[in-house]
A and B are shown apart, each in its own frame.
Chain A
Amino acid sequence: MLRVVLTALLGALLALPGSVLATAPAPIDLQQLEQHPRWQALLHINRGATLRQRGNSYVADDAFFLADNGRRQPRAELRASIEQLAAPQSPARCQFPARYRFLAEQLQWPQEMAPFAHCDEYLEWRAEIPTGKAVLIFPAAYLNSPSSMFGHTLLRLDSAEDQGVWLSWAVNFGALTDGSDNSIFYIYRGLAGGYDGYFSIVPYVTKIQDYAHLENRDMWEYELTLDDDELSWLVDHLWELKDIRFDYYFFDENCSFRLLELMEVARPGIGLLDSLRFTEVPVNTVRSIDDAGLIGSRHYRASKSRELNHLADQLSPAARRVARRLADRPEQVIASADYQSYSPEQRRLMAQTAYEYLRFSHRTQERNESVARRSFTLLREIRTLPASALPPLPTPDAPEDGHATKMLSAGGGMRDDNGFGELGLRLTYHDWFDNNPGFLRGAEIEGLNLRLRKEESQRPVLESLQLVNIRSLAPRSAFVKPTSWFVTGGIERAFTTERRRAVRYLEGGPGLSWRWGNFHPYALSLFRIENNSDWDHWVEAGAGARLGMLWYAPGVTLGASAEGYYLTNDAYRHRATLTASVPVGRNNALRLDLVRDGWRDDHDEEIRLAWRHYFR
């Protein structure tokens, strides 16, 4: 506040008669000014990055424009800005400090000592906002929430002094939702631009709680190489975006896309938005920003569940069981000879494990007397015990070091003594056997996964088209008991009565999975509905199960599964598979599939070998 008063005083003192606006020195080249990358970034002009509003501003809010219809008339907006920002006491300046600064520099307006002396609100805000450094935050995927697999991006602003990130600010672009939409409508609106998008600035601590604690996501933090000047452009522009409405589109104009625009404001001409960005997957945003040389260092923040697993890994199986009992009945177990027979360091680890487990397992629930009492007892126990040196939590591979998001495959094989060739294309994103670094084990999400097959002397046929395929294996342990599940839908070729033909299907079901070292066994129930022209009814339903195992071995990922289901028309199918995938560098892999398909009275065997190439 003091600073505000001082600045205002300065402004008053320095608003000398001499500093009134001089006449413009030379005719202004509006064309050149309009094309300036920073000006285009400040106005959020679409330079061809997406299909909507080309040449216009993305901003959907009249309050952001000084000219009538400024959104669609960039030239008029530029003229209006020059007119309205030039006068020393202009109210527009308080709303558009970055625009003012840009025009004042470009048009060589007379230097003013305190151009914003009359803007109390802005000056107050500016004095509070931390401008030490900017950090790009990427909350990675978390298990059992496929939508999170794409991740999210936001910015963090830290103060210059190192004071812990809990006091930093988070700059987030998100859709403003009212929470009353059901999820189907929600997704539809998210895809069709039915939501308003706003920038918000909130305490970073709330984001840590949302992501690392509540949703249980690892967070990656990338320090940006923006210098003080670039950062001040960015911060001033954030003020211009206060309460300004954009349209929010899930696929392209989303949280990540808007951050790219902010990068352009800070460091114009890095070309992040010059070419078409069909979909903006957050991990590609991180890659683009990295490619533009904006990323300095990288820091990993583990989620609560990873911390819990790390603690539990330090204990012997027997100690782990004691820790588990400790969480349920701390007073009794602390008094027991069994617990007291461990060394103080071990006891501390056990108490910490029990505490973290208790907090983790009740993190989404209302306060509960018994849990609160137990948590408190455990904290008091921890306090009395000496700390043991915990080995650092191993940092997993960073998401941006993972394979690229799109995939093209070519291969061939034999089915029932017939040779065939096959081409595949997948729009997004990752399956169990794809090169694993940078991805969660046991998490699979695929959109638009297409395979075309041609047998000798036959026409090419659609072998399968998965519109969506999600399989989530969340391992159960002594401490957490999640449910695994899967859902898949699309077109596949299946044996009906006489022949293999394309059927429309949707299947899914809940299940269980575990983890023993690098082995991930699983058991999933399977419910299916199928639309098949060879059958009497328009749709048949079926139920069955699938058992299998994944093995993330060094240099190769292996899998085996067996499944079977009965349909309501008394047909049944069963299938056994073996899969092996060998990564070749980051963006290529060789995959072998062995399949045995069985149905009433007969079966087929198939062997497939394919080269998979991942690209952006």
Chain B
Amino acid sequence: MKRILLATALLGASVSASAVAPGGPGCGWGNMLFEGNNGLPMHLLASLVNGTSGNATFGMTTGTNGCDTSGNLTYSGKSLLAMNGVLEEVARDVAMGEGEALTALSVAMGVEATDRGHFNAVLHNNFDSIFTSENVTAAEVMANIESVLKADDALAKYSA
């Protein structure tokens, strides 16, 4: 039975067991800032034989909280933010004014390389209006970023 389950997980897009997001079912728009991780013991165990537990799919999951993008590994800003742990890294980079996670977000949102410095600065200056509280969700952050971009002449073209 288990074999069959595994096989289906391999064939189709698998949704990991921890996919139910706090604050809302389904696609992980309820994931909050500072989510934390779990399952470290399993990770340590897995590293013994470099195991991939259960969902070694071939580019079928983006690791979004229960979001299934069916074989798509490229991101919009939305799907990137919905990934476990990314929101936190982006918040840190915005507070600092730069960083890899912020770069990834700007790329995923289609910001040209020439505008990235400005993009970083604008988000940094608007930290308080983007990250309104420690309970802000990925969906709210995305919406807040959109409105910050809209209000900026150079960046308005990148808002949806």
Q: Which residues of A contact B (CB under 8 A)?
A: 125, 128-129, 145, 147-148, 152, 161-167, 169, 172, 174-179, 183, 186-187, 189-190, 195, 198-203, 205-206, 209-210, 213-215, 242-243, 248, 250, 254-255, 352, 355, 359, 362-368, 371-373, 375-376, 379-380, 382-383, 387
Instruction: Report yes or no: B33 in contact with A372, Cβ–Cβ below 8 A.
Output: yes
Further 7 A-B residue pairs, CB within 8 A, beyond A145-B44, A203-B63: A129-B73, A163-B103, A164-B107, A178-B54, A179-B46, A364-B40, A376-B33
B43 CB-CB contact with A under 8 Å: yes
Nearest chain A residue, comparing its CB with the CB of B49: A190
Instruction: Report yes or no: B73 in contact with A201, Cβ–Cβ below 8 A.
Output: yes
Nearest chain A residue, comparing its CB with the CB of B103: A164
Question: With A250-B49, A380-B95, A383-B95 in contact, do A202 and B59 touch (Cβ < 8 Å)?
Answer: yes
Instruction: Report yes or no: B35 in contact with A367, Cβ–Cβ below 8 A.
Output: yes
Question: With A365-B36, A372-B33 in contact, do A152 and B52 touch (Cβ < 8 Å)?
Answer: no
Instruction: Report yes or no: B57 in contact with A200, Cβ–Cβ below 8 A.
Output: yes
Cross-chain pairs A/B with CB under 8 angstroms, 18 sampled? A128-B74, A129-B73, A148-B47, A164-B100, A166-B100, A176-B54, A179-B53, A190-B49, A198-B52, A199-B58, A200-B58, A201-B73, A205-B104, A206-B63, A250-B49, A364-B37, A375-B134, A379-B92
B96 CB-CB contact with A under 8 Å: yes
Q: CA–CA, A72 to B57, complex, Å? A: 27
Instruction: Report yes or no: B54 in contact with A128, Cβ–Cβ below 8 A.
Output: no
Question: Which one, B10, B22, B103, contacts A166 given CB within 8 A?
Answer: B103
B160 CB-CB contact with A under 8 Å: no
Task: List 5 tightest A-B contacts by C-beta distance, closest first.
Answer: A190-B49, A166-B104, A376-B134, A164-B103, A177-B51
Q: Which residues of B contact A (CB under 8 A)?
A: 2, 6, 10-11, 22, 32-38, 40, 42-54, 56-59, 61-63, 71-75, 80, 83-86, 88, 91-92, 94-97, 100-101, 103-104, 107-108, 113, 124, 127-128, 131, 133-135
Taking CB atoms, residues of chain B closer than 8 Å to A371 are 34, 36
Question: Which one, B35, B44, B52, B134, contacts A177 given CB within 8 A?
Answer: B52
Nearest chain B residue, comparing its CB with the CB of A242: B58
Query: Chain A nearest CB: distance from B120 CB in Å?
Result: 12
Taking CB atoms, residues of chain A closer than 8 Å to B47 are 145, 147-148, 152, 215
Question: With A177-B51, A250-B49, A367-B22 in contact, do A376 and B133 touch (Cβ < 8 Å)?
Answer: yes
Instruction: Report yes or no: B88 in contact with A359, Cβ–Cβ below 8 A.
Output: yes
Instruction: Report yes or no: B83 in contact with A205, Cβ–Cβ below 8 A.
Output: yes
Nearest chain B residue, comparing its CB with the CB of A250: B49
Nearest chain B residue, comparing its CB with the CB of A351: B95
Query: Chain A nearest CB: distance from B79 CB in Å?
Result: 10
Taking CB atoms, residues of chain A closer than 8 Å to B56 are 172, 174, 176, 198, 200
Question: Which one, B11, B34, B52, B53, contacts A375 given CB within 8 A?
Answer: B34
Taking CB atoms, residues of chain B closer than 8 Å to A366 are 36, 38
Instruction: Report yes or no: B10 in contact with A169, Cβ–Cβ below 8 A.
Output: no
Question: Which one, A164, A176, A209, A250, contacts B84 given CB within 8 A?
Answer: A209
Instruction: Report yes or no: B54 in contact with A179, Cβ–Cβ below 8 A.
Output: yes
Instruction: Report yes or no: A187 in contact with B38, Cβ–Cβ below 8 A.
Output: no
Question: With A186-B48, A379-B131 in contact, do A178 and B53 touch (Cβ < 8 Å)?
Answer: yes
Most interface-central of B42, B74, B124, B128 (chain A CB within 10 A): B74
Q: CA–CA, A148 to B97, complex, Å? A: 34
Instruction: Report yes or no: A363 in contact with B51, Cβ–Cβ below 8 A.
Output: no
Q: CA–CA, A372 to B40, complex, Å? A: 19
Question: With A174-B51, A176-B56, A187-B48 in contact, do A383 and B134 touch (Cβ < 8 Å)?
Answer: no
Question: Which one, B36, B48, B52, contacts A368 given CB within 8 A?
Answer: B36
Instruction: Report yes or no: B61 in contact with A166, Cβ–Cβ below 8 A.
Output: no
Taking CB atoms, residues of chain B closer than 8 Å to A145 are 44, 47
Taking CB atoms, residues of chain B closer than 8 Å to A175 are 49-52
Q: CA–CA, A366 to B37, complex, Å? A: 6
Q: CA–CA, A242 to B110, complex, Å? A: 29
Query: Chain B nearest CB: distance from A208 CB in Å?
Result: 8
Nearest chain B residue, comparing its CB with the CB of A355: B92
Question: With A164-B103, A167-B107, A205-B104 in contact, do A365 and B49 touch (Cβ < 8 Å)?
Answer: no
Query: Chain B nearest CB: distance from A221 CB in Å?
Result: 13
Q: CA–CA, A380 to B57, complex, Å? A: 39
Instruction: Report yes or no: B85 in contact with A209, Cβ–Cβ below 8 A.
Output: yes
Nearest chain B residue, comparing its CB with the CB of A176: B56
Question: With A205-B104, A242-B58, A365-B36 in contact, do A195 and B49 touch (Cβ < 8 Å)?
Answer: yes
Question: With A206-B63, A367-B34, A379-B95 in contact, do A167 and B46 touch (Cβ < 8 Å)?
Answer: no
Question: Which one, B32, B50, B88, contacts A152 given CB within 8 A?
Answer: B50
Instruction: Report yes or no: A201 in contact with B58, Cβ–Cβ below 8 A.
Output: yes
Taking CB atoms, residues of chain B closer than 8 Å to A183 are 45, 48
Instruction: Report yes or no: A201 in contact with B59, Cβ–Cβ below 8 A.
Output: yes
Nearest chain A residue, comparing its CB with the CB of B104: A166
Instruction: Report yes or no: A169 in contact with B36, Cβ–Cβ below 8 A.
Output: no
Query: Chain B nearest CB: distance from A330 CB in Å?
Result: 12
Q: CA–CA, A187 to B49, complex, Å? A: 7
Query: Chain B nearest CB: distance from A237 CB in Å?
Result: 13
Taking CB atoms, residues of chain A closer than 8 Å to B63 are 202-203, 205-206
Q: CA–CA, A186 to B48, complex, Å? A: 8
Nearest chain A residue, comparing its CB with the CB of B48: A147
Q: CA–CA, A164 to B93, complex, Å? A: 13
Question: With A186-B49, A376-B133 in contact, do A214 and B37 touch (Cβ < 8 Å)?
Answer: yes
Instruction: Report yes or no: B107 in contact with A163, Cβ–Cβ below 8 A.
Output: yes
Taking CB atoms, residues of chain B closer than 8 Å to A213 are 37, 85
Query: Chain A nearest CB: distance from B29 CB in Å?
Result: 16
Instruction: Report yes or no: B61 in contact with A214, Cβ–Cβ below 8 A.
Output: no
Q: CA–CA, A525 to B127, complex, Å? A: 49
Q: CA–CA, A129 to B36, complex, Å? A: 30
Question: With A169-B73, A380-B95, A383-B95 in contact, do A177 and B46 touch (Cβ < 8 Å)?
Answer: yes
Instruction: Report yes or no: A362 in contact with B36, Cβ–Cβ below 8 A.
Output: yes
Q: CA–CA, A383 to B47, complex, Å? A: 37
Q: CA–CA, A242 to B134, complex, Å? A: 41
Instruction: Report yes or no: A382 in contact with B95, Cβ–Cβ below 8 A.
Output: yes
Q: CA–CA, A307 to B63, complex, Å? A: 25
Instruction: Report yes or no: A177 in contact with B131, Cβ–Cβ below 8 A.
Output: no
Nearest chain B residue, comparing its CB with the CB of A213: B85
Q: CA–CA, A100 to B127, complex, Å? A: 53
Taking CB atoms, residues of chain A closer than 8 Å to B80 are 166-167
Question: With A128-B73, A210-B43, A215-B43 in contact, do A372 and B51 touch (Cβ < 8 Å)?
Answer: no
Question: Which one, A128, A190, A254, contacts B72 given CB within 8 A?
Answer: A128
Query: Chain B nearest CB: distance from A28 CB in Å?
Result: 33
Query: Chain A nearest CB: distance from B94 CB in Å?
Result: 8
Q: CA–CA, A251 to B54, complex, Å? A: 21
Nearest chain A residue, comparing its CB with the CB of B40: A364
Question: With A163-B107, A215-B47 in contact, do A178 and B100 touch (Cβ < 8 Å)?
Answer: no
Taking CB atoms, residues of chain A closer than 8 Å to B50 are 152, 174-175, 254-255
Taking CB atoms, residues of chain B closer than 8 Å to A169 are 59, 73
Nearest chain B residue, comparing its CB with the CB of A181: B45
Taking CB atoms, residues of chain B closer than 8 Å to A363 are 36-37
Taking CB atoms, residues of chain B closer than 8 Å to A161 are 113
